[in-house]
Amino acid sequence: MVSKALLRLVSAVNRRRMKLLLGIALLAYVASVWGNFVNMRSIQENGELKIESKIEEMVEPLREKIRDLEKSFTQKYPPVKFLSEKDRKRILITGGAGFVGSHLTDKLMMDGHEVTVVDNFFTGRKRNVEHWIGHENFELINHDVVEPLYIEVDQIYHLASPASPPNYMYNPIKTLKTNTIGTLNMLGVEVRVARIFNTFGPRMHMNDGRVVSNFILQALQGEPLTVYGSGSQTRAFQYVSDLVNGLVALMNSNVSSPVNLGNPEEHTILEFAQLIKNLVGSGSEIQFLSEAQDDPQKRKPDIKKAKLMLGWEPVVPLEEGLNKAIHYFRKELEYQANNQYIPKPKPARIKKGRTRHS
């Protein structure tokens, strides 16, 4: 009895203990399952975080690339000043894709004006102004100034005229028409007249037969520099940015009579040949050919009027300008070599009866 009772007591105690043990075990189990669950989640989260940071690592350089690309899209133009409505002018440049015209386009665009270039691409080239195409202040019209053009502008720079001897002699009637009818078509605003003297610089036509382009091309290509006559005839050459500044100063002045724009620093053609040969570092010879017909023996602009009335005078030293032109011609030769076209300097001018003036 006692033992049965004892047994019952013990078993009662045991049962309670068992229950307690079972309860603890259950709790431990739940806790461990929960723990595992939480652990798994944190492993998973950790994993996700790691993947995310890996992706981030890979994507960041791409994002940077996109930012750069976006920047290059919005900054693809040379910097342009902001001008208020009252200072901003609508300016038409005929021959604006040519040698001088394209440099003038650059200046007026960078000064913040609205520029319309009109060119028939007879001697001008789209490449000379392509860096402005699409700019909100810029417009390019393929048009021949011999035909009338109806647009409203504040100023017109009329530079459309074939200026290289082989070009204007190739089609003299067309040249005359451009200079007469073309000019008449552009009249209607107050007029300023610039007498432009020998000018050189980047974007000169490579093979238009003029002395600077001929000598640079010949020196770069290792061919003889062709001096017509003894080379003692003189010329004075201005760098294109000086001319452009003079044109703008004249346009904005009240001087309505013709003004000479040129550089009075005079050199013989032989000196030019030697200087260009040295600057290029070329081993070319200097070759003396027969004198060109009616070749003026001396030309030097008198720029007193421009100095006095416009406060203008050329500032770019000859060597500095020549180096820029040489750099441009070198690049052009590389570009054209890639395009399988090697320009040759034009041969001596032999045509008779050419009238010369600047």
Ligand X SMILES: O=c1ccn([C@@H]2O[C@H](COP(=O)(O)OP(=O)(O)O[C@H]3OC[C@@H](O)[C@H](O)[C@H]3O)[C@@H](O)[C@H]2O)c(=O)[nH]1
**Alpha-carbon dihedral angle through residues 259, 166, 174, 116, given to the nearest 10 degrees:** -60
Calpha distance 326→219 (Å, rounded): 10
Looking at 165, 166, 264, 343, which residue binds ligand X (CB under 6 A)?
165
Q: How far is the CB of 280 from ligand X (least distance, A)?
A: 15
314: nearest Cα among 306, 305, 325: 306
CB 225 within 8 A of CB 286: yes
At 104, which amino acid appears?
A: L
Residue 224 binds ligand X, judged by CB under 6 A: no
Element (H, E) at 239: strand 238-239
Residue 286 binds ligand X, judged by CB under 6 A: no
351: nearest Cα among 150, 197, 209: 209
CB 108 within 8 A of CB 91: yes
The piece of 119-127, 188-196, 223-231, 317-325 that touches ligand X (CB under 6 A) is 223-231
CB 185 within 8 A of CB 197: no
Q: How far is the CB of 257 from ligand X (least distance, A)?
A: 21
Q: How far is the CB of 73 from ligand X (least distance, A)?
A: 40
Q: How far is the CB of 287 from ligand X (least distance, A)?
A: 9
The encoded tokens of residue 349 equal 């001018």
Q: How far is the CB of 198 from ligand X (least distance, A)?
A: 5
| Contacts (CB under 6 A) with ligand X, residues 144-163 | 163
**Which of 116/233 has CB closer to ligand X?**
233
Which residue has tokens 């300097």? 345
Looking at 183, 253, 260, 358, which residue binds ligand X (CB under 6 A)?
358
| Contacts (CB under 6 A) with ligand X, residues 189-208 | 198
Residue 276 binds ligand X, judged by CB under 6 A: no
Mark out the alpha helices in 158-264 (DSSP H runs). Answer: 165-170, 172-186, 211-220, 240-251
**Which of 243/269 has CB closer to ligand X?**
269
Residue 167 binds ligand X, judged by CB under 6 A: no
The CA-atom distances, in angstroms, between 251 and each of 181, 192, 307 are 22, 6, 15
**Which of 175/241 has CB closer to ligand X?**
175
**Which of 91/220 has CB closer to ligand X?**
220
Q: Tell how strand 266-268 and strand 234-236 pair up.
A: antiparallel
**Which of 8/356 has CB closer to ligand X?**
356
| Contacts (CB under 6 A) with ligand X, residues 88-117 | none
Q: How far is the CB of 316 from ligand X (least distance, A)?
A: 18
Residues 6+ apart with CB under 8 A from 154: 89, 90, 91, 189
Q: How far is the CB of 226 from ligand X (least distance, A)?
A: 4
Q: How far is the CB of 234 from ligand X (least distance, A)?
A: 8
**Which residues of the chain form contacts with ligand X (CB under 6 A)?**
163, 165, 198, 210-211, 214, 226-228, 233, 235, 269, 292, 295, 356-358
